[in-house]
A and B are shown apart, each in its own frame.
Chain A
Amino acid sequence: MEQPKDNLADLELARRAAAGEAEAWRELIDRYGERLHAVAYRFARSASEAEDLTQDVFLKLYRNLHLYNGQAPLMAWALRLSRNLCIEHYRRTRAERRAMHLPIDDLSELAASDDPQAASAHRQQLQLVQRALAEMSRELALAVELRDLQGLAYEEVAAFLDVPMGTVKSRLVRGRQEVAERIARLLGAGGRAQNLGTTFAEAG
């Protein structure tokens, strides 16, 4: 089977990193660190937990780099590797959690320095989305989060969820519909819907 050019570059990078070339390993971190960390964040309950989980993911990546054969993009392959670690972690800590973690606390701290009113509106928006996602089936919610919030490619989402691309797409259609409807309903349910609407109108 012929490999796309990108994968050949990925293969080269993986080989160099596996051979212990520090430069290649650094490039790998710069390329994929942010996205893998963001995915880990979804399954962790705090920033430090997310960091530890990311380190575990990279450790596994490093140990398995020599097995990468370039058939899928390196990022998709890395996501597939991280999948079990993330799920295991999530299961281990499930008892102590209510919903998936959005980095609300970290962000509100940042926003607080600006305008307190805008910060609280921002916080409300994030909570809305978080609630909407928590109410949905996990399948649909995860597809929306990975693709629409974190910006992973379809192929990468498919690799992480370990389902075919077609499944990812159909889940996304349903998930997007559902998340928007739920947000709208939550907005309507809270008496502040109108206020939020005007706040957005001013802001946007």
Chain B
Amino acid sequence: MATFFSRLLGRRNVLHGLSPLPPAPRPPLPAALKSRLEAIPLEVTLCRDLDRLWAPWLAGELAPAEAERLAAHRASCPRCRAVVAALAAARAAAAVQLPEALRLRLRRLPELVRRPRVPFWLVDVRYALVVSYLFALIAFRAAGEPARLVAASAEPLKAATNELARAQEGLRDLLELEIPLPNRTPPDAADEEPNRE
């Protein structure tokens, strides 16, 4: 401010043909401050150059020499120290552990999912027989084949059913009508006898 006015006054004096005032004495810049200011371009470029390296540095991916250079800079530079600390905190925070309850939930997932697998009727021969019988039945009907073919295909099953029915009747007769049992058969074995025939 003082300099500004003295210059202004000086100019006016020149304009008026008078001798200029001597310049006001300036306080010298403290040496420490001067060197700090001089270092600004260097620091800024350096920090900016290192900015993209801190993440790999934190991950331990840099070559030892370079890692050392960064560590040394970090020790002397508050700005970069703060940046690295923030990045490190975010890194640590990102390492979310898998909650135990979720782990158990995930383990049970397969039980809840119907797997895209072999159709159920191929898994078991019994299912296969039933399904093929039904197919045959439908196919014959649809093709308009004589009923005897259908009947013939159903014959073994029908025969078995009849036999079972007869056996059941026989058993009921034995138990309900109290038909005397043959003497050679012990009473306990009576239940099984009709089934065996």
Contacts and interface: CB of A to CB of B under 8 A. Distances in A.
Given A33-B98, A55-B105, A125 B89 contact: yes
B32 to A, nearest CB: 18
Contact of B94 (A145, A179, A201): A145
A198 B87 CA distance: 16
Classify the interface of chain B: helix, strand, loop or mixed: helix
A34 B98 contact: yes
A38 B103 CA distance: 13
Nearest to A29: B106
Interface string A174-204: 0011011101100110000110111011011
B120 to A, nearest CB: 15
B91 interface: yes
A144 interface: yes
Interface stretch (B76-84, B159-167, B177-185): B76-84
Contact of B109 (A58, A149, A180, A183): A58
Classify the interface of chain A: helix, strand, loop or mixed: helix
Interface residues of A, number: 59
A90 interface: no
A104 B93 CA distance: 8
B75 to A, nearest CB: 9
A51 B91 contact: no
B94 A197 contact: no
A194 B78 CA distance: 8
> Which range holds the interface residue count of chain B?
35 or more
A34 to B, nearest CB: 5
A153 to B, nearest CB: 11
Contacts of B86: 125-126, 128-129, 183, 187
Contact of B83 (A37, A126, A180): A180
A102 B93 contact: yes
B51 A197 contact: no
Contacts of A130: 90
A184 to B, nearest CB: 5
